[in-house]
């Protein structure tokens, strides 16, 4: 039987992206419940490495912030091209959340200390 997965967009109440100046993109993830917040932040799904692979950026440049008081996660990384440049296709970075919202998170995956994951 295949393992059940959820998309981040199914677990979060809102996933959005925005310009963070001409050189950075910021992704914001908001949760309606503490349980969903803990489930996602307790998984390895939003690791710097995972975000780096998803957005094709160096994981060392990814900034990751958990905000438990407001059940939110903020992720920032350098834009691939400067905002407003000739090759920029999303000046306000308003569509950059789409890959993150579609990120699949296995129902049984939990992060362990040191970045390893177990099956339950």
Radius of gyration of the chain (CA): 15
pLDDT digits (tens, 9 = 90+) for 71-91: 999 999 998 877 888 887 777
pTM score: 0.80
pLDDT digits (tens, 9 = 90+) for 13-71: 999 999 888 889 999 999 999 999 999 999 889 999 999 999 999 999 999 999 999 99
Q: What residues form DSSP beta bridges with 13?
A: none
CA angle 106, 101, 70 (to 5 degrees): 90
Task: Give the integer Cα–Cα distance in Å for 30 and 18.
Answer: 14
CA angle 88, 90, 93 (to 5 degrees): 120
Tokens of 24: 């950075």
CA angle 101, 75, 61 (to 5 degrees): 120
């Amino acid at each position: 039987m295949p393992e059940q997965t959820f998309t981040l967009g199914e677990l979060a109440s809102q996933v959005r992206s925005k310009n963070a100046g001409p050189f950075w993109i910021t992704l914001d993830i908001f949760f309606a419940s503490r349980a969903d917040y803990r489930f996602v932040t307790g998984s390895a799904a939003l690791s710097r490495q995972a975000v780096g692979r998803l957005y094709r950026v160096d994981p060392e440049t990814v900034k990751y912030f958990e905000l438990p008081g407001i059940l939110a996660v903020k992720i920032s990384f350098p834009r691939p091209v400067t905002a407003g440049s000739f090759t920029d296709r999303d000046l306000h970075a308003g569509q950059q959340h789409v890959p993150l919202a579609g990120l699949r998170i296995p129902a049984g995956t939990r992060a362990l200390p040191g970045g390893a994951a177990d099956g339950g």
